[in-house]
Amino acid sequence: MPTTNPDPYPPNITDYLGSIQSKAGAETTWQETNDNVYYNFANTGDWMRTKKPYLEHVINSGVRTLLFDGDADYIVNYKGVEALVCPDQLSTS
């Protein structure tokens, strides 16, 4: 029978945050995600806007540029960066 991962990533910090809640002056209990915050961002237009024209301007101005992304990053993931940098090479399947 499998056992619980002794070193989960990311670690569950709920107990720790609960233990320092009053010391930090938090007025509400921490939760991993808050739907109200998410929907406020999504509904006000703060959702995956392209920055391609700005990036092209920087690169075309001669600025050496590095794009960094993560394979496990939801927001700045490698698939989105690939779509930005080389859209013609993406498969449609």
User: E strand or H helix at 58, and its extent?
Assistant: helix 52-60
Which one has a higher pLDDT value, 89 or 90?
Answer: 89
Q: What is the pLDDT of residue 60?
A: 95
C-alpha torsion sign, points 45, 49, 53, 58:
positive
**Domain segments of the chain as ranges:** 14-24+31-88
Structure confidence by residue, pLDDT tens digits, 68-86: 887 777 777 788 788 878 7
Q: What is the pLDDT of residue 59?
A: 92
Phi and psi, residue 70, nearest 5°? -125, 150
Q: What is the pLDDT of residue 61?
A: 96
Q: What is the pLDDT of residue 88?
A: 74
Q: What is the pLDDT of residue 42?
A: 76
Q: Is the pLDDT of residue 7 over 90?
A: no
pTM of the predicted model over 0.75: no
Structure confidence by residue, pLDDT tens digits, 17-60: 889 998 988 888 887 777 887 788 778 766 667 778 888 999 99
Is 41 within 8 Å of 33 (Cβ atoms)?
A: no
